[in-house]
Chains A and B, each alone.
Chain A
Amino acid sequence: MSGDSASAIQRSQVDLVDFIDWSGVECLNQSTSHSLPNALKQGYREDDGLNLESDADEQLLIYIPFTQVIKLHSLLVKGPEEEGPKTVKLYSNKENMGFGNVNDFPPSDTAVLSPDDIKGKPIVLKYVKFQNVRSLTIFIEDNHSGSDITKVQKIALFGTTVETTDMKGLKKIEDH
Chain B
Amino acid sequence: MVLEATMICIDNSEWMRNGDYAPSRFEAQAEAVNLICGAKTQSNPENTVGILTMAGKGVRVLVTPTSDLGKILACMHGLEIGGEMNLASGIQVAQLALKHRQNKKQQQRIIVFCGSPIKHEKKLIEMIGKKLKKNSVALDIINFGEQDDGKIEKLEALLAAVNNNDTSHIVHVPTGSSALSDVLINTPIFTGDGEGGSGFAAAAAAAAAGGLSGFDFGVDPNLDPELALALRVSMEEERARQEAAAKKAAEEAAKQEKGEGQPSGTQDAMMTERANAATSEVDNKDDENALLQQALAMSMDDPDSGHETQDTDMSDAAADDPELALALQLSVQDGTKDSSSQSDMSKLLADQSFVSSILASLPGVDPNDPSVKNLLDSIQSQTGASGSNISSQQKNEEKEPKEDEK
A interface residues, Cβ below 8 angstroms from B: 28-29, 32, 55-57, 59, 95-96, 98-100
Chain A residues positioned under 8 Å from B161 (CB to CB) = 56
Q: Which residue of B lies closest to A95 (CB)?
A: B104
Say whether, besides A32-B164, A95-B104, A56 and B134 are in contact (CB < 8 Å).
yes
Contact B133 A55 (CB under 8 A): yes
A57 → chain B, closest Cβ, in Å? Answer: 7
B99–A56 touching, CB < 8 Å: no
User: Least Cβ distance of A93 to chain B in Å?
Assistant: 15
Question: B interface, by DSSP: helix, strand, loop or mixed?
Answer: helix
Q: Which residues of B contact A28 (CB under 8 A)?
A: 134-136
- Give which listed residue, A32, A59, A96, contacts B165 with CB less than 8 A: A32
List A contacts of B131 (CB < 8 A).
Answer: 56
How many A-B pairs with Cβ below 8 Å?
28
B135 pairs with A98, CB closer than 8 A? yes
Given contact pairs A28-B135, A32-B165, A55-B133, enumerate 19 new A-B contacts (beta carbons under 8 Å). A28-B134, A29-B133, A29-B134, A29-B135, A55-B134, A55-B164, A56-B130, A56-B133, A56-B134, A56-B161, A57-B134, A59-B134, A95-B104, A96-B104, A98-B99, A98-B135, A99-B134, A100-B99, A100-B135
CA distance in complex: A132, B133 (Å): 33
Q: How far is the CA of A137 from the CA of B133 in the complex (A)?
A: 19
- Contact A99 B135, beta carbon cutoff 8 Å: yes
**CB-CB contacts of B129-149 with A at 8 A, as 1s and 0s?**
011011110000000000000
CA gap between A71 and B99 in the complex, in Å: 30
Which of chain B's residues has its CB closest to A32's CB? B165
CA distance A18 to B129 in the complex (A): 37
Q: Which residues of B contact A55 (CB under 8 A)?
A: 133-134, 164
- List the A residue with the shortest CB-CB distance to B165: A32
Q: Are B99 and A57 in contact (CB under 8 A)?
A: no
Note all chain A residues with C-beta closer than 8 A to B136. 28-29
Complex interface: chain A residues within 8 A of B99 (CB)? 98, 100
Q: For residue B137, give the distance in angstroms from its CB to the closest CB of chain A.
A: 10
